[in-house]
Structure 1
């Protein structure tokens, strides 16, 4: 058994095709449900503000808040239509895990 290798969010966002993004979200959710998952930690709502931002990279849908919002909404609707629960991320700011002190 295997799972489909879907394009990253940046690639999907570059298409500008909200119907395609919805269908990829639905397909991803359907596959995840088939192997027992019911929670998707995403989509990533971060906006790429610089090409040097390697923390987010291709996990972002784009370079403007408007584009990211439209794409993430389409992807989330697709996931939800397959029965997945969604937890969009990240909270504002760059949280470098090495800097957290306990």
Structure 2
């Protein structure tokens, strides 16, 4: 559990989850969707969706190409693991990689 120590006089407002979600629920849903869209793991997974002989789906989308169903290919890739801190920095758009 977390605790906060106030060093000056404070006013505390307490609401339950239902009240919170009624005020900020849609905002939180939008924020979660934006965070998911920026998650590097999701971006990589989407990039390597089934493509064709020209490359994975993400490479085709980047060139405004449609996959040719008669030449379907599946892609598999392995990356070295990242720390939770690195993932958090990427999610917060603070991480820039090693380049």
User: What is the TM-score of this pair, normalised by structure 1?
Assistant: 0.21
Bigger relative CO (Cα 8 Å, ≥ 6 apart): 1
